[in-house]
Amino acid sequence: MKTRTYTPTPANLRRLAEALQQGELVAIPTETVYGLAAHALDERACRKIFAAKGRPTQDPLIVHVLDVAQAEELAEFNDTARRAAKKFWPGPLTLVLPKKSCVPGIVTANRDTVAIRSPGHPLTRKLLRLAGIPLAAPSANLFGYVSPTSAAHVLDGLDGKIPHVLDGGESSVGVESTIIDLTNPAKPRILRPGSVTASELEKTLRVKVLLHAGKKPNRVMAGLLAPGMLSQHYSPRTRLLTTTNLADLPSDIGGIFLRKPQGRTKSNIYWLSARASLKEIAHNLYGVLRSADHGNHREIWIEALPENSGGLAVAINDRIRRAAAKITPRSRKRVH
């Protein structure tokens, strides 16, 4: 299969909208990461996602919609969910709600709930409007690998495996959406942290929001409630270890600093932000992980944010922890 990359011209957007209507896969830009999109109500099209990514079917997909009206055709909304959507949509918040019968089981890992959001990226919204269908779209990468935040990242893993990639520039947020379970509106739970924080949700929903603290599986089991709940995910191929000290970095180790280190410019030195800005760290995290992974290092060491950090730091630490959780004979210890 030849993979074609498209610039976002009106003609190309119409072509890609038609491709989605016809059951083809299209890698699309969103504000969080690039997604691999298919017609969410077409079971055969959605199965192509799992085949291209090598993704287990027990890991559900997020359905992307244009607005609340379209979302309510697919899921049973409650007042709390409507309040959350009104405040944070379009944007990087995914709601888990009871699904309606029109949503195929392949999308929901055969559970009776569906994960759904309205993305904020203008090109994705144009595609949704032109296609007139909901789009199931997990990250556009091989399963378990570092998520893509550019069209080049998509091609790095899926070139030759999918037909279409829409180039919309770099994703602005850089980490996946916050996922909140609102099936019980009195006890909302964050299943995956993201750029929409617990404190922001509590302020809007006017109820305590819990952070899911149940046992996280290290392999895909039957019917996960939402994507992003595996203990190992977002991992580079090179062994990744977390550390609090990169001062004495060996030359064969790639070191990822939170802040740009002064006077250190060797080829094994990487950094996430010039000023240790949380937004910059989140935006750059996956791109830097990919660069380090291509650096032919024996290992990669990465600084994590302090454990008591709140807000966006919770999502950043979540991704770093899961990316560093690869279990191999050589990776049973962490650097401290």
pLDDT 10s digits, 19-53: 999 999 999 999 999 999 999 999 999 999 999 99
DSSP secondary structure string, 192-233? E--SS-HHHHHHHH-S--EEP-SPPPSS--TT-SSTT-SSS-
Structure tokens at 102: 């029109």
CB 254 within 8 A of CB 238: yes
Examine residue 250 and say whether the peptide bond preceding it is cis (omega within 30 degrees of 0).
Answer: no
pLDDT digits (tens, 9 = 90+) for 262-279: 877 788 999 999 988 999
Residue ranges of the chain assigned to CATH 3.90.870.10? 4-211
With contact defined as beta carbons under 8 Å apart, do 271 and 256 qualify? yes
Angle at 203 (CA atoms; ends 85, 97), nearest 5 degrees = 35
Q: Dig out the tokens for 14 from the structure.
A: 């119409």
For 201, counting Cβ atoms within 10 Å of its Cβ (0-12 exposed, 13-18 middle, 19+ buried), the class is buried
Question: CA–CA separation, 8 vs 122, rounded Å?
Answer: 11
CATH topology of domain 240-323: Rossmann fold (3.40.50)
pTM above 0.85, yes or no: yes
Contact indicator for 178, 322 with CB cutoff of 8 Å: no
pLDDT, tens digit (0-9, with 9 covering 90-100), for 137-191: 999 999 999 999 999 999 999 999 999 999 999 999 999 999 999 999 999 999 9
The domain made up of 4-211 has a fold known as: DHBP synthase (3.90.870)
User: Looking at the chain, which residues constitute the CATH 3.40.50 domain(s)?
Assistant: 240-323
Q: How far apart are CA 94 and CA 118, in angstroms?
A: 8
